[in-house]
Chains A and B, each alone.
Chain A
Amino acid sequence: MVKRIPILFLSLITAPIYAEMKVNMPLGVTPLSHDIYWLHMTIFWICVGIGVIVFGALIYSLIKFRKSKGRIAEDFHEHTLIEIIWAVIPFLILIGMAIPATKVLIRMDNTEDADLTVKITGYQWRWKYEYLDQGISYFSNLATPANQLNNKAPKNKWYLLEVDHPLVVPTHKKIRILVTSNDVIHSWWVTELGIKRDAIPGYIHETWARIEKPGIYRGQCAELCGVNHGFMPIVVEAVSPMQFAEWVKQQTQGKVTFNTDVKLTLSKKELMGRGETAYDTYCAICHKPEGTGMPPAFPALKGDKILTGKPGDEIAIVLNGKAGTAMQAFKNQLSNEDLAAIITYIRNAWGNDDKNKQGPHAGELVQPEDIALAR
């Protein structure tokens, strides 16, 4: 027993050091994440304390009462007072723990007096951020290129934790966060904000944050939401209120609106260039960069009968999704130009434009106008 004590102390002292080596929950940057961290550490040390006592008694008994030491069992198998004591003491400890936990929980529940409201909608497999008062709305997609996923290129520092458009929020303001979903259940989780909220289709749940330190905070979808559950990261960029105001201005000036009537015709080169980029962001994760898909759940686009025929059916599928499959509706996610570019791209890439093999309609272009008509 005496020999074990130094080891025990060593592990107690080293625990806080490990805390910096990403083995512990981060302290975070909001009052709530601080509260959570504090509760977490308190209950952790209570468990360590109980563990020392229970394991100590167990180790002592196992060493002291060995038969090989000539021990003979004693008739000690009942003691009502002891039973009551070791039921009551843990009960009191639990009450001591329940009180602060209750207080924190009540504080978390208070979403009143917010300075800013952001609505977050989970999609398979991206997040949509809407600033309800500012009229800003956009999608946030995984930005890690496919060749890194397939180990064909060295991985970035923020592999799988990087997005094209982060959620930008001001520091030192109370942000009310509304979370919902468009399809299945997702969960919006950023450890350093102390927030995890399930995104439930048809229901909106709220929470809040007040970020005290500018910086970039990363998280992931935490609820299994289908095949690309592991590929819908979250990046939150907290900037000073002034910078935020600046950002809002920028966003509202260059506002993209869908369903435009602008009759725009793009060249094949423009369509293909834009299409490839958009395809990699929105489609490649299921249909693969080489268009091979992952049959049978995600059909191959290479050599697909619909894509090599007369344009029409594929436009409807991309716009409205395909019921009963993972193919979702992109109508409200992408502009006419992007949709036209993507469809043109998949009609022309991977040899789909080969008229000899695929027939007379192979490789025909689709223009934003065609999308506007089909909407």
Chain B
Amino acid sequence: MNSIEHAVDQHAPYNSQGFFSKVTRWIFTTNHKDIGTLYLWLSLIMFFVGGAMALLIRAELFQPGARIISPEIFNQMTTFHGLIMVFGVIMPAMVGLANWQIPMMIGAPDMALPRLNNWSFWILPFAFALLVSTLFMSGPAPNFGWTFYAPLSTTYGPKSTDFMIFSIHLLGLSSILGAINIIATIFNLRAPGMTFMKMPIFVWSWLITAFLLLAVMPVLAGVVTMMLADRHFGTSFFNAAGGGDPILFQHVFWFFGHPEVYILIMPAFGVMSEVIPTFSRKKIFGYKFMIYAISVIAFLSLLVWAHHMFTSGIPLVSELFFMYATMLIAVPTGVKIFNWVATIYKGSVTFETPMLFAIAFLFLFTLGGFSGLMLSIVPADYQYQDTYFVVAHFHYVLIPGSVYAIMAAIYYWLPKWTGHRYNERLGQWHFWLTVISTNLTFFPMHFLGLAGMPRRIPDYALQFADFNMIATIGAFIFGFSQLLFLINIVRTVRGKGPHVSNQVWEGAHGLEWTLPSPPPYHTFSSPPTIDECK
């Protein structure tokens, strides 16, 4: 407890008095903790923006018939909801966690490239301003889904598409710089004795994710540049009339897109591998195999892109290859699930909010994995593709997967970052409302898809009415329960809630728990000593 007093005045830089210097502190900061905080706030704000769009979509689908938004706005909302949730919520949140945690977990004083770090964050608000500005322009905003398939987005795309293209260029730039920084930090700034095979799995998962980012973000930039050229410079990459091929777009897009979903989920795997051992009071089961499994998943993720295109008429041989490769991903993913269960087995388990989210992750992410396995079977995929079954699948992977992991991570590390315990009762309410409403929203979508409801339609046949109504009710409960999350975070950040010790959680291990809570602004200026027990 004593260390807290002595840390209080050190979690801000020396010159942050007065309004102006408070603002410039955040603009010019090169501190990994500040930048982590900025990323996390951006992500939280975008979570409510993207969520409000989802609620508009669900409100329109509450009953059959034209209701509150026109089909045109509906398509814009599906586009923005997807883009914002992927690029504005999950990715910044994961990068924010990396910024806060990686230096503290490997005993580094900061990120390796602090100025680059500042830039990779501050690109984002401008990128999103560019993207969201299209909603206020006189022509339609991008309205072709977050996958922006050509030729709907090229020859037939609205004028504002070019803004989206430049916005994606900026987002990609930010991600690439962030990835470079993470790799440089992990390679160069580990404390003496922190060998690769002693690193926490969260750090490992981010290292591999960063390499995946470097591999595929340039491809995304490439595909939007090709779009730009098709739209304005007379090329015909995606236009059959000029000798191109619309399917080429899908190949290039999904070569980025599939690894992208693993970029969204692998840091979540890392978070799980910290939270589950802590609350089971036991070391992670199969440390080495967990790392091998992530590496194999990352490698395979580069070889399965065409499973998004089984109905597009790709040749039989490629269908078979991509089916086998996709099925194969189930093996390392299964290994991870089994290892987490084995970590709990013979442990001493308690159920604080982070652990509750981790347990829900284990159940519901596995469910999303099952529907993923079903989707890999090409003939069956002919029926599932582009239906609500797919919508259910990827929401089960992304919400209980990535989003629950982010929530678990916030509840887990927020006491360390702020020095205060969040409100446990509020956390539990948030958890139960979230987990019940997630299932209420997305489980019925499996039935809708199997019964024949296509995705991205603003109105539907009468036979789909009941399940759509249930899904909408679930979505609104989900949306409003997130206010509890916001309240809990704001309370904790503002110092409500009891002080916590360095250790915070009884079962926690790792360098960050040796630091005071909150940690001083600059930590590990001299490297810590790493003992044998990680």
Contacts and interface: CB of A to CB of B under 8 A. Distances in A.
- B is a partner of A: yes
B459 A149 contact: yes
B403 interface: no
A91 B331 contact: yes
Given A39-B379, A294-B72, A67 B348 contact: yes
A220 B246 contact: no
B346 A184 contact: no
A50 B370 contact: yes
Interface string B325-344: 00110111011011101111
Interface in A15-68: 22-26, 32, 35-36, 39-40, 43-44, 47, 50-51, 54-55, 57-58, 61-62, 65-68
B370 A224 contact: no
B387 A35 contact: no
Nearest to B452: A191
A201 B71 contact: no
Given A67-B281, A77-B343, A196 B383 contact: yes
Given A73-B348, A149-B459, A229-B456, A83 B311 contact: no
A154 to B, nearest CB: 11
B45 interface: no
Contacts of A67: 281, 348-350
B341 A54 contact: yes
Given A71-B348, A223-B386, A297-B72, A83 B64 contact: no
A94 interface: yes
A223 B215 CA distance: 28
A198 B217 CA distance: 27
A160 B459 contact: yes
Interface stretch (B13-21, B90-98, B142-150): B142-150
A44 B380 CA distance: 11
Contact of A194 (B319, B332, B363, B383): B383
Contacts of A149: 65-66, 459
Interface stretch (A3-11, A101-109, A329-337): A101-109
Interface majority SS on A: helix, strand, loop or mixed? mixed
A126 to B, nearest CB: 16
Contact of A22 (B349, B383, B451): B451
Given A159-B64, A202-B241, A90 B366 contact: no
A225 B152 contact: yes
Contacts of A98: 323-324, 327
A203 B463 contact: no
Given A101-B323, A185-B149, A196 B380 contact: no
Nearest to A110: B316
- Looking at A71, A101, A226, the one whose CB has the most chain B CB atoms below 10 A away is A101
Given A221-B454, A296-B138, A108 B379 contact: yes
- Looking at B240, B241, B343, B373, the one whose CB has the most chain A CB atoms below 10 A away is B373
B346 A296 contact: no
Nearest to B289: A83
B319 to A, nearest CB: 6
Contacts of A218: 452
Contacts of A57: 341, 345
B149 A224 contact: yes
Contacts of A191: 383, 451-452
B156 interface: yes
B57 to A, nearest CB: 13
A151 interface: yes
A51 B286 CA distance: 21
Contacts of B374: 40, 43-44, 47
B382 A196 contact: yes
Given A73-B282, A160-B460, A86 B335 contact: yes
A141 interface: no
A201 to B, nearest CB: 6
Contacts of A297: 72, 139-140, 158
A157 B240 contact: no
B454 A202 contact: no
Interface in A247-290: none
Contacts of B496: none
Interface string B363-375: 1001100100110
Contacts of A205: 312-313
Contacts of B338: 54, 86
Nearest to B340: A58
A51 B75 CA distance: 36
B119 to A, nearest CB: 35
Given A105-B379, A184-B152, A76 B71 contact: no
B378 A105 contact: yes
Interface in A125-151: 148-151
Interface in B417-434: none
Given A51-B367, A195-B382, A226-B143, 4 more contacts: A43-B373, A61-B341, A159-B461, A223-B149
Q: Which 3 A-B pairs have the closest CB atoms?
A: A202-B240, A205-B313, A230-B457
23 contacts: A22-B447, A23-B451, A25-B451, A26-B451, A40-B380, A55-B363, A61-B345, A71-B347, A74-B282, A76-B285, A83-B339, A90-B334, A94-B330, A98-B324, A101-B380, A102-B320, A104-B379, A155-B462, A159-B64, A161-B461, A201-B246, A203-B313, A222-B311
Interface of A: 22-26, 32, 35-36, 39-40, 43-44, 47, 50-51, 54-55, 57-58, 61-62, 65-68, 71-79, 82-83, 86-87, 90-91, 94, 97-98, 101-102, 104-106, 108-109, 148-151, 155, 157-161, 179, 183-185, 187, 189, 191, 194-198, 200-203, 205, 218-231, 294, 296-298, 326
